[in-house]
């Protein structure tokens, strides 16, 4: 009898994982409010690092179908900085990073004397870091159920609210399993079926970093993700309520390679004592712990000795980057020109990734994609380059929700292409 109660290691791992999934899935699951029982459903899909011109580089039948049957933009322009976390949260809120607080993938908050980092679960899951209300929180407050198979911010209680169903990020989960779960959620009865769902794939971004944006590995990743997108579309077609579902596909940024140019090493030109530097290759952010008056001296030294980038103080960044002001910004921004690299210290040197992002949002290689398909979208609609903040007002219009405050997104950019509801 005792032996019968002893579980194998694999069984214990399975049951532990199952309990975590159950907890993440069942928190706050309730019925849709009566007003939302006839609301449409939106599936927001993010393809991390999917550059605007990737569909021209290889076969992408699913994206081609979305363009043919719905709307596509020439490109999607990211916010500054062109990194994953700030751009995803701008998509989710319609506001710029200086407003929503996620100003980079890693940054400090002086008041709380802590750092936020995308790899730190305690920070990522702490809703107090997020200073704007994302769309799933607005929907939940209105009595509309939501679900998330990954998206920046969905793992945190923001204003005390999670999506009804959500997952903690786990890169080991295959893309096909993510699609399968989203289709299961979409197949629920109308009373509990989420009306907003998010789905995230990092496959293309990983390949672009490792092998470069034009490599065979990246091209294969593009085709692989497109196949999963095709499976999602086919699964939606099989639903009895398929004519009520919108699919919106975006990416947070593009990808580019490095030039054959030596990196600029900050410690060769400025004193980094008592400084913390967040350096990502295309950029470096310098936070001074004491004697912050040194910032201007640093800027001048860097700009005098570097021919492949520029340093800025807060308030000096190009106006078209719409950076605003934030206590979470550094004392000195160091921004490399496209393809160039900046390092904090000689000891930071490591083999460059084949592809990267973090350069200026004006650089075409940093631009992503936008596609949307649904009952109020005229087939074959095309738009010019649009901004990531413009996606939010489109989603809000489709779902019939009101923004909780001012936004930076332009409703005329994408939402204006929607046909009147009920047409």
Same domain for 319 and 245: no
Cβ atoms of residues 59 and 223 within 8 Å = yes
| Same domain? 179 vs 54 | yes
Residue 23: phi and psi, rounded to 5, are: -65, -45
Tell me: do 46 and 149 sit in the same domain.
Answer: yes
Please check whether residues 375 and 289 belong to one and the same domain. Answer: no
Establish if 353 belongs to a structural domain: no
- Is the separation of the CB atoms in 182 and 144 below 8 Å? no
Q: Same structural domain for residues 174 and 279?
A: no
What pLDDT, in 10s, does the model give residues 79-132?
A: 999 999 999 999 999 999 999 999 999 999 999 999 999 999 999 999 999 999
Indicate if 48 and 64 belong to the same structural domain. Answer: yes
Per-residue pLDDT of the chain (423 residues; tens, 9 = 90+): 333 333 333 433 333 343 344 344 334 548 999 989 889 999 999 999 999 999 999 999 999 999 999 999 999 999 999 999 999 999 999 999 999 999 999 999 999 999 999 999 999 999 999 999 999 999 999 999 999 999 999 999 999 999 999 999 999 999 999 999 999 999 999 999 999 999 999 999 999 999 999 999 999 999 999 999 999 999 999 999 999 999 999 999 999 999 998 999 999 999 999 999 999 899 999 999 888 789 999 999 999 999 999 999 999 999 999 999 999 999 999 999 999 999 999 888 777 799 999 999 999 999 999 999 999 999 999 999 999 999 999 999 999 999 999 999 999 999 999 999 875
pLDDT score at 35: 84
Q: 297 lies in which domain range?
A: 264-348
Yes or no: say if 271 and 286 are a contact pair by the CB < 8 Å rule: no
Residue-wise pLDDT for 183-204, tens only, equals: 999 999 999 999 999 999 999 9
- Whether residue 242 is found in the same domain as residue 388: yes
SS3 call for 15: helix
pLDDT computed for residue 28 by the predictor: 59
Q: Is position 152 within any domain?
A: yes
Task: Report the CATH number at residue 301.
Answer: 3.30.1360.180
Please check whether residue 20 lies inside any domain of the structure.
no
**CB-CB contact of 62 with 47 (8 Å):** no
**Could you tell me if residue 2 is inside a domain?**
no
Mark whether 273 and 297 lie in a shared domain.
Answer: yes
Q: Can you give the pLDDT at residue 1?
A: 32
User: How many CB atoms are located within 10 Å of the residue 26 CB?
Assistant: 10
Q: What's the confidence (pLDDT) of residue 146?
A: 98
In a domain, 355, yes or no: no
Instruction: Report the domain count for the chain.
Output: 2
Class of residue 269 by CB neighbours under 10 A (exposed 0-12, middle 13-18, buried 19+): middle
**Residue 294 and residue 244 in one domain:** no
Q: Is there a single domain that holds both residue 307 and residue 393?
A: no
Same domain, 165 and 201: yes
Does residue 40 contact residue 245 with C-beta atoms inside 8 Å? yes
Single residue among 293, 320, 348 that ends a domain in this structure = 348
CA distance 216 to 258: 17
Which pLDDT score, from 0 to 100, does residue 350 have?
A: 74
Which 3-state string (H, E, C) describes 189-246? Answer: CCCCCCCEEEEEECHHHHHHHHHCCCCHHHHHHHHHHHHHHHHHHHHHHCCCCHHHEE
Domain membership flag for residue 5 = no
Pair (197, 96) in one structural domain: yes
CATH code for the domain in which residue 75 is found: 3.40.720.10
């Amino acid at each position: 009898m005792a032996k019968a109660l002893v579980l194998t290691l694999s069984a214990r791992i399975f049951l532990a994982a199952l309990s975590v999934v159950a907890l993440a899935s069942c928190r706050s699951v309730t019925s849709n409010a009566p007003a939302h029982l006839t609301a449409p459903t939106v599936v927001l899909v993010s393809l991390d690092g999917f550059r605007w011109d990737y569909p021209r580089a290889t076969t992408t039948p699913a994206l081609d179908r979305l363009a043919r049957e719905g709307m596509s933009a020439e490109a999607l322009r990211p916010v500054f900085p062109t990194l994953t976390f700030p751009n995803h949260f701008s998509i989710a809120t319609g506001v710029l990073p200086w407003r929503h607080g996620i100003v980079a993938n890693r940054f400090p908050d002086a008041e709380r004397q802590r750092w936020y980092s995308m790899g730190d679960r305690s920070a990522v899951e702490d809703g107090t870091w997020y200073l704007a209300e994302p769309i799933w929180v607005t929907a939940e407050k209105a009595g509309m159920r939501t679900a998330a198979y990954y998206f920046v911010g969905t793992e945190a209680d923001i204003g005390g609210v999670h999506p009804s169903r959500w997952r903690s990020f786990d890169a080991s989960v295959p893309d096909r399993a993510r699609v399968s779960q989203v289709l299961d959620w979409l197949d629920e009865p109308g009373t509990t079926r989420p009306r907003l769902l998010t789905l995230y794939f990092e496959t293309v971004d990983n390949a672009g970093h490792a092998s470069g944006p034009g490599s065979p590995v990246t091209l294969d990743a593009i085709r692989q993700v497109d196949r999963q997108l095709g499976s999602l579309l086919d699964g939606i077609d099989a639903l009895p309520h398929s004519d009520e579902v919108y699919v919106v596909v975006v990416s947070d940024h593009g990808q580019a390679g490095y030039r054959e140019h030596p990196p600029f090493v900050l410690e060769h030109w400025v004193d980094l004592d008592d400084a913390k530097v967040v350096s990502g290759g295309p950029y470096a952010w310098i936070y001074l712990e004491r004697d912050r008056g040194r910032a201007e001296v640093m800027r001048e030294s860097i700009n005098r000795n570097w021919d492949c980038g520029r340093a800025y103080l807060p308030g000096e960044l190009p106006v078209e980057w719409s950076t605003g002001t934030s206590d979470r910004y550094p004392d000195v921004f160091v921004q490399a020109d496209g393809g160039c690299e900046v390092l904090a210290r000689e000891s930071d040197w490591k083999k460059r990734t084949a592809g990267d992002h973090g350069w200026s949002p004006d650089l075409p290689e940093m631009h992503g994609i936008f596609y949307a398909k649904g009952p109020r979208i005229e087939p074959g609609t095309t738009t010019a380059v649009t901004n990531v903040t413009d996606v939010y007002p489109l989603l809000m219009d489709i779902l019939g929700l009101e923004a909780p405050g001012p936004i930076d997104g332009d409703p005329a950019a994408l939402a204006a292409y929607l046909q009147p509801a009920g047409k």
